[in-house]
A = this chain, B = another copy of it.
Amino acid sequence: MPDYIEFWFEFASTYSYLSAMRVETVAGGAGIDVAWQPFLLGPIFRKQGWDTSPFNLYPIKGEYMWRDVERHCERYGIPFKKPAVFPRNSILAARVACIAMREGWCPEFSRGVFGANFAEDRDISSPEVITEILNSVKKDGLEYLSRIKFPEFEGLLREQTAKAMNLGIFGAPSFIARGELFWGNDRLEDAIQWYSGKGD
């Protein structure tokens, strides 16, 4: 069994934002490491016949979600600004995150992307914004934006999303703890508990 929980996230997802900003604290408090796993929800949603977020397809659910996220941000002490565009195209950010995952700086980069999208209402599909975030975590923005096109990196995100599908993931965030799938920011604590107390 791996000695960590997996945190599967999508940069366009509001509830992934909530988890991204607290997963290290919650897991760290239990002495558990976190493997950050970027992926795309789009291809998974399309398999279910959805061409956008279900929060847009079902406005009554969407309206509730925004209020729910706002309440959670307040409770967690996380800044929040409703993005002008939802869901934002997250492909570029997720591609970079896949390299970051390989190189070990995925958490700080990803928190930067989530903050840009959900605390600052910035366009995370823009190369300029991603370059700035890269620079803010002491990486050469221009270098990484060219690297994502290298053949060795190109397929990483596609592989991640395929892996997510194979794990039965259908939404974000999702957590894998000792082989068990937990879906939703509200299941983070359950995943930690499962990892700590069960399944040996």
Contact = CB atoms under 8 A, between A and B. Distances in A.
A170 B60 contact: yes
B186 A186 contact: yes
Interface in A48-80: 48, 58, 60-61, 63-64, 67-68, 71
Contacts of A67: 180-181
Nearest to A60: B170
B170 A61 contact: yes
Contact of A168 (B48, B64, B182, B183): B64
A190 B63 CA distance: 18
Interface residues of A, number: 21
Copies in the complex: 2
A67 B190 CA distance: 13
Given A58-B170, A67-B181, A186-B186, 9 more contacts: A60-B168, A63-B168, A64-B168, A64-B183, A67-B180, A68-B183, A68-B187, A71-B190, A71-B194
A20 B60 CA distance: 24
Contacts of A58: 48, 170
Contacts of A180: 67, 71
A71 to B, nearest CB: 8
Contacts of A190: 71
A68 B184 CA distance: 11
Contacts of A181: 64, 67
Interface in A152-200: 168, 170-171, 180-184, 186-187, 190, 194
